[in-house]
Amino acid sequence: MSGPLAGLRILEVGHILAGPYATMLLADLGAEVTKLEPPGGDLSRQVSAAYFASLNRGKRSVRVDLASDEGQARLHELVRGADALLVNLKPSAVRRYGLTYEALKAWNERLVCVALTGWGMDAGDDPAFDYVVQAATGIASLTGDPNGPPQLPGYSSADNSAGLTAALGLLAQVVSGKGGQVEVSLRDVMLSQLNYHASAWLNEGRPPRRLGGAHAYYVPAQLFPTADGHLSLFITHDGFWHTFATEAGIEGYATMAERAEKRDELIAVVTKALATDTATSWESRLRPLRVPARAVRTVPEALAGAADAVIEAGPYRLVGSPIRMAGHEPAYGPPPRLGEHGAM
What digits encode the pLDDT tens for the residues 73-108? 999 999 999 999 999 999 999 999 999 999 999 999
- Active-site residue, from 159, 188, 228, 308: 159
| Confidence (pLDDT) at 330 | 92
The answer to whether residue 125 is domain-embedded is yes
Average of per-residue pLDDT across 255-267: 97
CATH number, residue 181: 3.40.50.10540
Neighbours of 243 (CB within 10 A): 15
In a domain, 152, yes or no: yes
Whether residue 93 lies inside any domain: the answer is yes
CA distance 152 to 7: 39
Q: Which has the higher per-residue pLDDT, 326 or 225?
A: 225
Q: Are 4 and 333 in contact (CB under 8 A)?
A: no
What does the pLDDT look like over 11-55, one tens digit per residue?
A: 999 999 999 999 999 999 999 999 999 999 999 999 999 999 999
> Does residue 342 lie within any of the structural domains?
no
The pLDDT tens digits of the residues spanning 295-329 come to: 999 999 999 999 999 999 999 999 999 999 888 99
| Residue 308 known to be catalytic | no
Residues sharing a CB contact under 8 Å with residue 246, sequence separation 6 or more, in sequence order = none
Does 14 lie in the same domain as 159?
A: yes
Q: Do 69 and 184 share a domain, yes or no? A: yes
Using the predicted structure, report yes or no on whether residue 2 has a pLDDT greater than 90: no
Whether residue 242 is found in the same domain as residue 182 = no
Are residues 173 and 277 both part of a single domain? Answer: no
Co-location of 179 and 64 in the same domain: yes
333 located within any domain = no
What is the spatial distance between Cα 36 and Cα 82, in angstroms, rounded to a whole number? Answer: 13
47-77 CB burial, b ≥16 within 10 A, e <16 = eeeeebbbbbbbbbbbbbbbeeeebbebbee
Residue 330 lies in a domain: no
Burial environment of residue 252 by CB neighbours within 10 A (0 to 12, 13 to 18, 19 or more): exposed
Residues 75 and 1 sit within 8 Å (Cβ to Cβ):
no
Q: How many separate domains does the chain show?
A: 2
Residue 97 and residue 122 in one domain: yes
Per-residue pLDDT of 160-186, as tens digits, reads: 999 999 999 999 999 999 999 999 999
pLDDT on residue 343: 83
Residue 280 sits in which domain range?
221-225+230-295
pLDDT of res. 19: 98
The pLDDT-based confidence of 125 (bands split at 50, 70, 90) is very high
Do 107 and 248 belong together in one domain?
no
In a domain, 46, yes or no: yes
Given a cut of 80, whether residue 344 has pLDDT beyond it is no
Q: Tell me if 165 is assigned to some domain.
A: yes
Residues contacting 41, CB < 8 A, separation 6+: 63, 338
Sorting pLDDT into bands at 50, 70 and 90, what band is 59?
A: very high
Provide mean pLDDT across the span 215-231: 96
Is residue 249 within 8 Å of 291, Cβ to Cβ? Answer: no
Residue 51 confidence (pLDDT): 97
Which pTM value belongs to this model?
Answer: 0.92
C-alpha–C-alpha distance, residues 184 and 120, integer Å: 7
Provide the pLDDT for residue 1: 62
* Domain identity same for 26 and 85: yes
